[in-house]
Structure 1
Amino acid sequence: MDGASMNKARLEIRDLHRSFGGRPVVSGVSLALQAGQVTGLLGPSGCGKSTTLRIIAGVDRQTSGEVWIDGQQVAGPNVFQPPEKRHIGLMFQDFALFPHLSVADNVAFGLKGTRTEKRLRVRELLEKVGLARFIDSYPHELSGGEQQRVALARALAPRPSIMLMDEPFSGLDNRLRDGIRDETLGILKDEGAAVLLVTHEPEEAMRMADEIALMRDGRIVQRGAPYNLYNAPVDLKAAAFFSDVNVITGVVQGALTETAFGQFLAPGVPDGAKVDIVIRPQHLRIDFDRSGRGPSPTPDHGVWARARVDRARFIGKESLVDFRMEGNGSILTASVSSVFLPAKDTPLWIAIRRDRCFVFRHGDVPGVDEGPS
């Protein structure tokens, strides 16, 4: 990548690698973030996302690769700029407020300037996070959500060009989390920092990020807008990371796979190879047709298949119904956005939204997908 493209990015990491005791933890990670952009670095625990963040912050060193901030290399083969020189804001799971300092002094910690200038900046940020009335209070006098907002104000106080956030909302009560996420996102956008949010929660990444980089086993396997990752996953694991899925495995003959729901195209897959047909529970359809023949096939739903209810339960926003397929006995799960609790062994017809299915070669491991440049 040339220097001109680097100058456009507020943060760029290039081919980062990090190993511990010979074990690779980060393997060839590259990302570029613009000012005002929120990127979610999403993945399961142990995939290398927090290590990547620590390398960017300068609290860990890469085995190889480079980190650039505003067109300047801050970490590379012969360069290492210490954390305090990188102009980066940090937020972690632990709010790490100083218990012996007031809210005002916590937010002002690390600020430069006169006492008056500091006080003005502190008050400006506390008003943004709705905590101006607590300016002289101490952390133990605040709720968890209020402490989180103080930590945000402190991280933003020096006007960092980059904000790194490592699971910052995981310690909050579920009832508070959504509201605080939305408030935080608004403030971050106002400040114009490039934000890298590390999280293992797909909902959080989709709620906050302009772009998601999905990480697995030290690599970014897919990157793009939340809508694209959800609706065009690169493989079975990517689809299953964002939601529950049903998987139907079939064998290819003549680029087609025969299932209880009809034939599915599998272009480019050789005869005899297996494919996984993946469908989310909300895209199964249910019919009470009593004719014994089942509803007629349609372009949207294809062939209807006979199944019996194995279990049904209501979970508040929806009902989940497990079906045992007649013939092979496999279990598929459907979600219904209402109270729907048919008795066990109730015979029903089910079909799947063919336009919502994903077909992946069984056992395939995708290459790294860096997304559009």
Structure 2
Amino acid sequence: MSPTTLEVKQLKKSFQEDLILNGLSFQLKKGEILSVVGPSGSGKTTLLRVLAGLETPTHGSLWMNGKDITATKANRRDISLVFQQPLLFPHMTVEENIVYGAKVSKKYNKQKVERLLEAIGMSRYRNHFPAEISGGQQQRTALARAMATEPEVILFDEPFSSLDPSLRQDLRYWVRDFLVEQKTTALFVTHDMEEAMIMGDQIAVFQDGAFQQIGEASVLHHHPANQKVASFMGGHLILNENEFVPLGDIQLSPGHGDGEVRTFQGRMEHLTYQHGHPVAHINVPALGSRVALPVQQVTTDTEEVSLHIPTSRIQQFEVNQHE
């Protein structure tokens, strides 16, 4: 079993009367990557700043390799933080920014710098200053600078948000492969569930100052702990505080079986296409929610629809099954 690299115990953080982090406790093993996903403004960035030493926790403790680092200054922690904004040194070139990171950590290696420049597609811009390259190029440089330090833990605060979709996809896999190759422990914050699933060995759904559930993507999807997890994961219709049904089990026409069925009336508001297949976006007033369901065909005058749910397919939230 891999040793524990980072351990957080009963972490709390308040700003005046607002409790942002509410008793967080978790562990990261060496080389483990945890994706923290949650809505904007939920406190994900505050968590990273506390871990990096840029904010002091109101209560609780932080441990690295069995040593209490709660009071350790940021520059004394073997932790790198990659912000949403690049924050490069404006008077240094792309290459100099990366070299600076490596030299500060005393891990400079010319071959490593060359490999990083090539990996982020910035070799031809190595002598450019930050003001002379695009925002996406600046963020790639910031990523390379953080990785050049080879820290024990890297914290990512939505580092791909400013990149175009194709580059974002490529960099996701490159960063993931780099972390795995280096056996680097990482915590990756995002509000994008697809990104969270690509990057993390496990996913932590963060809301209301706490982790609502931590687990592999398949576990969170098939066995959500509560309404908040099901809502954020998507792919479910929440019936009430205790029950939900996977969208794949909802029928827009009555089934031919003899089983009991719950029926809800809905109104189709939009028709879109995903991977070439039509998807109906349906408002269900009785549940106060909207769902997107794949359909075989929908005529333009079909606005009122019925959702038929076999009761045998209705599930209970995991938290309620253990009460």
In the other structure, the counterpart of 1:166 is: 157
Which residue of the other structure, out of 33, 47, 54, is the alignment partner of 1:38? 33
Distance 1:162 1:11 in 2: 8
Distance 2:25 2:266 in 1: 48
In the other structure, the counterpart of 2:226 is: 235
AA of the residue aligned to 1:179: D
Q: Give TM-score scaled by structure 2 length.
A: 0.85
Matched, 1:142 2:133: yes
Matched, 1:58 2:15: no
Relative to structure 1, the CA distance from residue 344 to residue 193 in structure 2 (aligned partners, 3 Å threshold; closer, same or farther) is same
Q: Which runs of 5+ in 1 are unaligned?
A: 250-274, 288-293, 368-373
Relative to structure 1, the CA distance from residue 333 to residue 50 in structure 2 (aligned partners, 3 Å threshold; closer, same or farther) is closer
In the other structure, the counterpart of 1:256 is: none
In the other structure, the counterpart of 1:211 is: 202
AA of the residue aligned to 1:38: I
C-alpha RMSD of matched pairs (Å): 3.4
CA contact (8 A) 1:101 1:138 kept: yes
Distance 2:105 2:168 in 1: 35
Q: Give TM-score scaled by structure 1 length.
A: 0.74
Identity %: 30
In the other structure, the counterpart of 1:319 is: 279
Deviation at 1:181, TM superposition (A): 1.4
AA of the residue aligned to 2:225: V
In the other structure, the counterpart of 2:113 is: 122
Distance 2:255 2:105 in 1: 77
CA contact (8 A) 1:97 1:106 kept: yes
Which residue of the other structure, out of 207, 211, 234, is the alignment partner of 1:220? 211
In the other structure, the counterpart of 1:284 is: 250
CA contact (8 A) 2:101 2:146 kept: no
CA contact (8 A) 1:311 1:344 kept: no
Alignment of 1:68-147 (within 5 A): 68-75=63-70, 80-112=71-103, 117-147=108-138
In the other structure, the counterpart of 2:171 is: 180
Distance 1:116 1:167 in 2: 26
Which residue of the other structure, out of 4, 7, 10, is the alignment partner of 1:12? 7
Distance 2:313 2:89 in 1: 50
Q: Which runs of 5+ in 2 are unaligned?
A: none
Distance 2:47 2:167 in 1: 28
Deviation at 1:95, TM superposition (A): 1.0
Deviation at 1:128, TM superposition (A): 3.5
CA contact (8 A) 2:99 2:108 kept: no
* SS, match of residue 112 in structure 1: helix
Relative to structure 1, the CA distance from residue 119 to residue 344 in structure 2 (aligned partners, 3 Å threshold; closer, same or farther) is same
- By percentage of residues, which structure has more helix? 2
Deviation at 1:236, TM superposition (A): 1.4
AA of the residue aligned to 1:357: I
AA of the residue aligned to 1:10: T
Q: How many residues align?
A: 320
Alignment of 1:303-314 (within 5 A): 303=261, 305=263, 310-314=268-272
